[in-house]
Structure 1
Amino acid sequence: MLDENVELLEAIVSNDDNLTYGAIVSVHTGPDESITALTGHGVEELTDMLSQARLTTKAWHQFLDDFIDDPELAARFKAHKPR
């Protein structure tokens, strides 16, 4: 839906403080199973965040530092130019 790297999206939404309250929800798919999902507002917010972050390489690197908790994963994404 967002045409983004799934690993990047998972890293961002793994911390529910990265988006406004209620944008990230848990959907129960079974008695002991759930998935993380975004509301429509969450998709819009994340799309806007990524668009703004990709304006410059400096902004992209700062975004990754701020929103990706795993330094190794952030470094991998920094190795690629923002699109």
Structure 2
Amino acid sequence: MGVSTKSIYTWQKLFSKPATYGNIVSVYVGPDKTITALTDDGIEELTDMIRAARITKKTWHEFLDDFVEDTDLAARIKAKSPR
């Protein structure tokens, strides 16, 4: 899944949440390979962003368009009713 910096800034601006850069950690495990993970605070921020995006159908669909690189997957998620 590819996430652009522009998408993150847009969503953080919409939901008045400042950017926090220390919550994504990348570790080099080889000359050309990294493993990237979220810290506990990063998971909490992502959870907050998803919760805020799910307030309306429109914001949820915009969120999916911005963050889900696979358009077929995004369409399948959009077709399901929110729980």
Q: TM-score range by the shorter chain?
A: 0.5 to 0.7
Report the identity percentage. 54
User: Normalised by the size of structure 2, how large is the TM-score?
Assistant: 0.62
Greater Cα radius of gyration, structure 1 or 2: 2
Pairing 1:15–2:6 present: no
- C-alpha separation between the residues in 1 aligned to 2:82 and 2:22? 28
* Whole-angstrom CA distance in 2 between matches of 1:66 and 1:54: 14
Instruction: Kindly state the Cα deviation for residue 16 of structure 1 after the two structures are TM-superposed.
Output: 6.5
Gaps of 5+ in 1: 1-10
Q: Does 1:65 align with 2:65?
A: yes
Any stretches of 5+ residues in structure 2 without a counterpart? 10-18
- CA-based RMSD of the aligned residues comes to 2.3
Structure of greater relative contact order (alpha carbons < 8 Å, 6+ residues apart): 2
Contact 2:3 2:66 (8 Å CA) reproduced:
no
TM-score (norm 1): 0.62
